[in-house]
Amino acid sequence: MKIAVIGQSLFGQEVYKELKKAGHQIVGIFTIPDKDGKEDPLAAEGVKDGTPVFKYTRWRVKGKAIPEVVSEYSSLGAELNVLPFCSQFIPMEIIDFPKHGSIIYHPSLLPRHRGASAINWFPRVIEMSQKLTLFGSTLISNASPQGQTLDIPGAHAPAIVSRNGLFLFGNDGKMLLVKSLQFEDGKMIPASKYFSSSESSSLQLTEEEEKIKEQLRVSAEDMLCSIGYCPMGNSGETFHLRSGDRTDVRILFVLAVCRLVEEIKLKCQGLQLQNEDVYMATTFGDLTQTLVKKLRGEDDEEELPIDYVELNIDNLTLRMPHQLFIDGQFVDAEGGKCYNSINPTDGSVICRVSLAQVADVDKAVAAAKEAFETGEWGRMNPRDRGRLIYKLADLMEQHQEELATIEAIDSGAVYTLALKTHVGMSIQTFRYFAGWCDKIQGCTIPINQARPNHNLTFTKREPVGVCGIVIPWNYPLMMLAWKTAACLAAGNTVVLKPAQVTPLTALKFAELTVKAGFPKGVVNILPGAGSLIGQRIADHPDVRKLGFTGSTAVGKQIMKSCALVNVKKVSLELGGKSPLIIFSDCDLVKAVRAGMGAVFFNKGENCIAAGRLFIEESIHDQFLQKVVEEVKKMKIGNPLDRSTDHGPQNHKAHLDKLIEYCATGVKEGATLAYGGKQVPRPGFFFEPTVFTDVQDSMFIAKEESFGPIMIISKFQNGTRSSERVSEDQNSHH
Ligand code: TAP
């Protein structure tokens, strides 16, 4: 192609060389005059190659293009102008002269005459079936976009129209993601809708809507007149501004659009349009159609189809998604695999839940990667991200009773505790991290004290990408919140595996992310087996970080897998056996209350539970007697009953483990002061249990039960007990 290069600087020189390398004929270089007798690098390069170089001081006089300059330029017959870093005012006669128009690239300068949109790649004209102008582009170096291909004559490879926009491929392997397209007639559409934009049919307005249209016409005309346009005249209804208009007008236009949007809100029952809705509407007619669609509620995103399992409990209808959540959709697992989610209160099946397979992990990670690399999430202003997370927290609050009830039937958590802790703290966690979104910043570091000091060293915090999250079953929603909220606030995307035995609040949470407006692929939830799904997440090369809460043994295994595959970042919150030491000068009533809370809270399924109590010998018998008295008063029963203190253990395997744990304690010679057995009723209830005379060498002194089992050892003075505590390698990791 015959190209004229108009620009300057080393960047201009580089662009010129690349164009030549690509086989184009450079018919002329137009650059700035020499400074202090020194040529601009672009001019120097052209001279070396024998390319004609022109150095005009200016192209216009009194706002008019200089005829000699225009004719000299035109005589070269350029088919395309490329403007790399051009600081001069180039007349529109020159910009529009070549048959392919101009490509303007400004790494730092924003020339006054091009307006705000010129800050990006701006190929003004691309020959497809019609001429298009591209707006809002991002350079992407590493992505595999999915979508419909679009042939562009002369392009290195066909473009792809994806749900995130139009991908154009360069011959350097990089790609440009374009957000919006403008047609010759001025109509603007999201690039993602290139193939579907003409499908929408126009609505027949009702009498009432016609009235609104007329009111709106007055406001729109007023707005346009305020910036010196008289656009809707007799025939046309056009009111958009074409690119290339003056920047000062453009700014007025933006302000006028804001006014119009507010006026619409006032006149149309609080209807909130976005400024973009006005930009996208080419004609007044288009704007009216958009507005009426919104008023009728037809414009809402298609409602997500969810195959709920519905249950009515305590006058509350639970609507529970039960399929995997991948890329913003609830879907069956590969091969339609399912399993039963069990209610520990009576051992009944709550519902069938999709059981993720390895292929599902790969799909979820691919969706999370795309959402991060090319989706809206990755490009979103952190403040808007914060707003979405706040909205999610609000929705969780609106659904808190439903979430708490689901938690109670799925994990056996006592309802009131679930409401305040499992769900309440999860909501607060999302609110807390939402506030962090726009406060994640780096620092400048004075690395060199030398004078003069020209070093500038700074850190910038960036999201890592796809984060894998694997969590346990004791606080299903809260574990999800603690891990997920921080990842999302920082701008990452997430693939989360809940514990297989407690998947239901995580799936309900997924539904709420859709309601909050999270883009597809940002959150993905995969109920499934740890050894398969958790392991695949740890092994996946596109997962950049793994957050895990669970047992120490699995944590070690995960750390190893993450190191081997791609040295991914890992954070682990593991098991422990925290001590509680009670001295003889304590307030015994308070000490008993504290000891019981520390052991029996949430049925002992608590990672910060007191795994061992050291009681000073002189008060041991009294303490024990009081504890046993109090334990006997605990009301064991249905967790949905508001007066219940102690619900069922989380699942059958855990109950069996506790029974075995107690049998080991008895066999080793510890004194079983109370409990130690399954409660004789349906479900997985275990008696709150108290052991004493536990020696340091015993299994139950060393191993965490993760259940309602108090392990008491005596000590004679404080020094001895703290030595025994510090010898314990098992404190919370
Ligand atoms: P784990 O058996 O370690 O399970 C935790 C999670 O890891 C589950 O989702 C499990 O999947 C998954 N998993 C199992 N094997 C895996 C593998 N090879 N690769 C990846 N993921 C795998 O722990 P648990 O028994 O459920 O939970 C109890 C333990 O968690 C206790 O030790 C407790 O102290 C600890 N915990 C610690 C904390 C904190 S804050 N530190 C909080 C809660 C619990 P499945 O669904 O198949 O089991």
Each residue's pLDDT tens digit, 227-267: 666 555 544 455 554 444 556 666 677 777 788 888 888 88
Atom of ligand 1 nearest to the CA of 654: 25
Mutation test residue for ligand 1: of 478, 549, 704, the one with most atoms within 8 Å of CB: 549
Mutation test residue for ligand 1: of 554, 602, 605, 658, the one with most atoms within 8 Å of CB: 554
Nearest CA to ligand 1 atom 36: 550
Q: How many whole angstroms separate alpha carbon 424 and alpha carbon 446?
A: 43
- Ligand 1: residues with CB < 6 A are 470-474, 497, 499-500, 529-531, 534-535, 538, 549-551, 554, 557-558, 573-576, 607, 704, 706
Q: How many whole angstroms separate alpha carbon 57 and alpha carbon 618?
A: 98
**498 C-alpha to ligand 1 centroid (Å):** 10
Which candidate in 540, 607, 620, 651 is catalytic?
607
Sign of the CA dihedral running 386, 392, 395, 396: negative
Contacts of 677 (CB under 8 A, 6+ apart): 659, 662, 686, 687
pLDDT for position 698: 97
Mutation test residue for ligand 1: of 531, 565, 603, the one with most atoms within 8 Å of CB: 531
Q: Has 113 been annotated as catalytic?
A: no
Total residue count of the chain as it appears in this document: 733
Which candidate in 573, 605, 616, 687 is catalytic?
573
**678 C-alpha to ligand 1 centroid (Å):** 23
Q: How many whole angstroms separate alpha carbon 369 and alpha carbon 498?
A: 20
Atom of ligand 1 nearest to the CA of 606: 43
Which candidate in 45, 86, 100, 106 is catalytic?
106
pLDDT for position 482: 97
DSSP label at residue 646: B
**471 C-alpha to ligand 1 centroid (Å):** 6
Tokens at 304, concatenated: 């997500």
Contacts of 480 (CB under 8 A, 6+ apart): 426, 469, 471, 496, 498, 505, 506, 509
pLDDT for position 201: 59
Q: How many whole angstroms separate alpha carbon 686 and alpha carbon 23?
A: 79
Q: How many whole angstroms separate alpha carbon 418 and alpha carbon 399?
A: 13
User: Cα angle vertex 648, ends 701, 556, to 5°?
Assistant: 45
Q: What is the dihedral of CA 695, 698, 701, 707, to 10 degrees?
A: -130
- Residue 369's nearest CA partner among 541, 485, 490 is 541
Cβ-contact 309, 288 below 8 angstroms: no
pLDDT for position 152: 80
Order of strands, sheet of 102-105, starting from the edge strand that comes earlier in the sequence: 53-54, 25-30, 2-6, 80-84, 102-105, 122-123
Contacts of 21 (CB under 8 A, 6+ apart): none
**467 C-alpha to ligand 1 centroid (Å):** 17
pLDDT for position 239: 56
Which residues of the chain are modeled with pLDDT < 70? Answer: 106-130, 185-186, 197-202, 227-251, 282, 298-302, 718-733
**534 C-alpha to ligand 1 centroid (Å):** 10
**510 C-alpha to ligand 1 centroid (Å):** 21
Contacts of 587 (CB under 8 A, 6+ apart): none
Tokens at 627, concatenated: 């504890």
Q: How many whole angstroms separate alpha carbon 527 and alpha carbon 538?
A: 15
**148-150 and 578-582 strand pairing:** unpaired
Q: Does an H or E element contain 485, and which?
A: helix 476-489
Helix axes 9-21, 41-49, angle to 10 degrees: 30
pLDDT for position 106: 56
Q: How many whole angstroms separate alpha carbon 528 and alpha carbon 502?
A: 10
pLDDT for position 228: 65
Tokens at 282, concatenated: 């080419």
pLDDT for position 356: 98
Nearest CA to ligand 1 atom 45: 530
Nearest CA to ligand 1 atom 20: 534
Atom of ligand 1 nearest to the CA of 576: 34
Q: How many whole angstroms separate alpha carbon 586 and alpha carbon 141?
A: 65
Contacts of 38 (CB under 8 A, 6+ apart): none
Q: Has 106 been annotated as catalytic?
A: yes
Helix spans in 617-717 (H): 617-633, 652-667, 699-702
pLDDT for position 288: 83
Tokens at 350, concatenated: 């709550």
Atom of ligand 1 nearest to the CA of 554: 3
pTM of the model: 0.78
Atom of ligand 1 nearest to the CA of 575: 34
Q: Has 607 been annotated as catalytic?
A: yes
**543-549 and 569-573 strand pairing:** parallel
> Can you tell me which residue has the tokens 């003056």?
246
Q: How many whole angstroms separate alpha carbon 72 and alpha carbon 172?
A: 34
End-to-end CA distance of the chain: 65
